[in-house]
Structure 1
């Protein structure tokens, strides 16, 4: 055991090891604080959550009276750039319902990173084990009519809202936007920076503006086996 420690000390400087240890403790403290305030907000907003939630950074809720926000077991949220090493996070994780008919239903084992989810009047459902990278926006509404232009400030266009369903095991890359009426099939991957305005089937990689199927993951997997 002592020999292993000596090898580690020789390979890395003492300063590096101390810095790494202190930073690890710092991250643990941030997670504890974030999770504590997250649980207080859950109680305040009367939100249903499962067990073993872990939250690092700011988390904002807004829940309209009569609406529903449910979060499953083993939920994680990171909204702090010092914890998300691969990218900078632009804003807190934010979950909002804006009318009594709106619902946000998040399954088990879901991970969010500075994600904004807004359900104005419909249901947004996120399946089990969905991974959502940094700075993703999900919304069930345009929040006003598209045309005529003079109606954009006065006509909210509730009749055009449409629900969203994200299947289990989906991976959504950083800076994606998921628009109203979209269904993303299970196991699919959405490439970074995509805008998803139409439904995506299961077991595919999709990307672009608007997002389109790039390749079929099942076909790729079978081809790899033959090799």
Structure 2
């Protein structure tokens, strides 16, 4: 992908956050094609209102959003609209953000980078401190659900350069983590986290 001065890097295994005004949009880019990006959205005026997967699933009547769908908060209001998705559209709303406890259960004896800590670090970079970690919209994370309700850890179906555009419906804060998972194949068969990118798009 060619250099773009407006494109900002989400470093591999790390997080970033950005403020958006109502009407602006964010384009989140799966640069190398297999990187999951955990994504949170908070009301900029009151971060106790945030994108809530459980409320969104009830509103949409499906497991993940598609083009034209609103992302719904815990107060059952649209906070963003998924305006564009160039990927096959498989995103996860079931799995909580990874944390150091999770990696301990996966056998890590030492600290492991994780999306929960990435969220808090990203928010601190823009002057926000939150104690909670809502369940993220896991962009490009492929969690197949079988007829019996069992789930598995699939590899992403996305391709290099696939991207989504999320349009803000209110002033909000978007936080993103290039998921550090390197034990399970959610970031591809190589289990190698990579950087992703984003750019802010003007209101229309």
TM superposition score normalised by structure 2: 0.23
Comparing both structures, which one devotes a greater share of its residues to helix?
Answer: 1
Q: Which has the larger radius of gyration?
A: 1
TM superposition score normalised by structure 1: 0.21
Relative contact order higher in (CA < 8 Å, ≥ 6 apart): 2
